[in-house]
Structure 1
């Protein structure tokens, strides 16, 4: 058994009309090969540039350890200067990652290095976020709680991305009261004997190089592996339909708070219970007797 993955289409010179018609409205992923080539970031964004411009800023770093016991969520493993983090990345593989780092708040000068592409999309311009990872680091399969449409632009390295549309959720071992798959599953090398439903999910695979961008539609699942040290910026477009806005509010106001409350009350027992539910529900959906 192996994962059922298709390549994501690649485009160059796409018009906003074609993007809206072929990808945004039908909510299909696409890789932009040339959207960033006129950005200053295309020439400038490497680790030495960030060492110069943001090296003294203290940044929170996250590792691959899941939240345990009564922790609300997995907090930072450490907080160090950006320059010290770059030193770590340049020494070799590391699972330390910078996650959802607000560029506008922390490095406003760098906002001049990129542009919001003219794709007929209303961007949420208060939240351009930076993601940085060491070689071999991975991001667990998840979708975004705010259901944003994401435009993810990669620089200074290579990364692998797996995507699954919302209608494949039933095969992905979604953990109840969360927006993640089971954290024990490594989607880069999944154990399909233990988690056989994954082989029935129909997904997509992309590899992003310097300057390439990926459109991740709202509520699409994504797993990311940093194949080399790299940094990326994500520009976000928030949902506007009443149905999705209602779902976002439910995620933020009910689901997250209920999950945190149960973690405090039951600790690891709650986490173990959710994982068992994830396996049971997924196998029932897939018709697997196991």
Structure 2
């Protein structure tokens, strides 16, 4: 996959790299707090999920989870330190894209070695055990999502683990499914942009679910639609759960060493919504989608992985949709 945006970052880091809210405000972009739920109960969460109108923060719903104690770095070192893991080490501190293929950052080491490295890492060279299926490493029953959402439905669900140093970043992107992002240990900033404002996210021409925007370094001269939208942002700590409706763009970055878990659930965003967005984005996107349809669909050529856990290109996903009926093949975490 060849991208068109520069990966160049600023020569020096500043506080907004960890917390983008001030950077957005200084650029004249409207940024408001993520609303807190009025009813912070499982029933209130289920109602919010059913309405799917807005992201919300819930506090206290995970207070009884075993993970809140069992998944601290010290306990994980004691209980799972001998396990072998593959983590991303020495990640770049700036830029939207990796300057080299993601596989080149991967290193296999013991969980104890990773935890020690994570606690000691400098924010200029973060490390991340990311997108790890929680059930493959830890006891998933330590997180009781069934008590919050009820039994899994026919659409499937998936729970992923995110353990990393200060300075880790999941750059602005959009997911297919509804998402509960749960902070277990440490603090992170979550910054959101509604799906209805997807044009202002300036997706990459070859990938509709990854944004060219670095919310810590917004450039309204280059991306003028940012002037007309509202971002929502909050710092979350242990016990906070953020409901992120499917399609909602989100950027998540750590202030401290951190342990988080997220849970995808419910039906995926449908093919028509992406086609409608593609139609609004214009000819340059249509041309790129056609090229990738041919190269990575019909010809089956492999794609680079320079996005954070790169999904297939839009053209490849369109090819999959026409071939199998599933626009989400290869990008649905629950399959």
Compute the TM-score of the two structures, normalised by the length of structure 2. 0.65
Query: Using a 3 Å threshold, how does the CA distance of structure 1 residues 120 and 213 change in structure 2: closer, same or farther?
Result: closer
Secondary structure of 2:251's counterpart equals strand
Choose the corresponding residue for 1:261, options 271, 296, 299. 296
Match of 2:229 in 1: 201
Give the Cα–Cα distance (whole angstroms) in 1 for the partners of residues 82 and 211 of structure 2: 35
Match of 1:2 in 2: 28
CA offset at residue 135 of structure 1?
Answer: 0.7
Secondary structure of 1:131's counterpart equals strand
Choose the corresponding residue for 1:168, options 197, 212, 231. 197
| Conserved 8 A contact 2:195-2:247 | yes
Give the Cα–Cα distance (whole angstroms) in 2 for the partners of residues 227 and 235 of structure 1: 22
Choose the corresponding residue for 2:169, options 126, 133, 138. 138
In the alignment, is residue 223 of structure 1 matched against residue 251 of structure 2?
yes
Give the Cα–Cα distance (whole angstroms) in 1 for the partners of residues 150 and 200 of structure 2: 31
Match of 1:49 in 2: 75
Compute the TM-score of the two structures, normalised by the length of structure 1. 0.74
| Conserved 8 A contact 2:68-2:185 | no
Choose the corresponding residue for 2:144, options 92, 115, 120. 115
Secondary structure of 1:75's counterpart equals helix
CA offset at residue 160 of structure 1?
Answer: 0.3
Choose the corresponding residue for 1:191, options 219, 237, 261. 219
Secondary structure of 1:38's counterpart equals coil
CA offset at residue 203 of structure 1?
Answer: 1.9
Choose the corresponding residue for 1:95, options 126, 131, 137. 126
Choose the corresponding residue for 1:180, options 210, 223, 226. 210
| Conserved 8 A contact 2:182-2:240 | yes
Secondary structure of 1:10's counterpart equals coil
* Cα offsets for 1:32-59 (capped at 9, x unmatched): 1100111112233210111122222232
CA offset at residue 11 of structure 1?
Answer: 3.2
In the alignment, is residue 211 of structure 1 matched against residue 246 of structure 2?
no
CA offset at residue 188 of structure 1?
Answer: 1.8
> Aligned Cα RMSD in Å?
3.4
- In structure 1, runs of 5+ residues without a counterpart are 249-253, 268-273, 275-290
Give the Cα–Cα distance (whole angstroms) in 2 for the partners of residues 143 and 47 of structure 1: 29
| Conserved 8 A contact 1:13-1:34 | no
CA offset at residue 259 of structure 1?
Answer: 8.7
**Structure-to-structure mapping, 1:232-251, within 5 angstroms:** 232-239=260-267, 244=270
Q: Give the total of aligned pairs.
A: 253
Give the Cα–Cα distance (whole angstroms) in 2 for the partners of residues 102 and 141 of structure 1: 21
Moved more, 147-156 or 82-91: 82-91
Secondary structure of 1:228's counterpart equals coil
Secondary structure of 2:225's counterpart equals helix
Choose the corresponding residue for 1:128, options 159, 165, 172. 159
Give the Cα–Cα distance (whole angstroms) in 1 for the partners of residues 47 and 141 of structure 2: 30
Query: Using a 3 Å threshold, how does the CA distance of structure 1 residues 237 and 121 change in structure 2: closer, same or farther?
Result: farther
CA offset at residue 117 of structure 1?
Answer: 4.7
* Cα offsets for 1:204-245 (capped at 9, x unmatched): 1121101211111111110011111101111121316xx727
Give the Cα–Cα distance (whole angstroms) in 1 for the partners of residues 295 and 87 of structure 2: 22
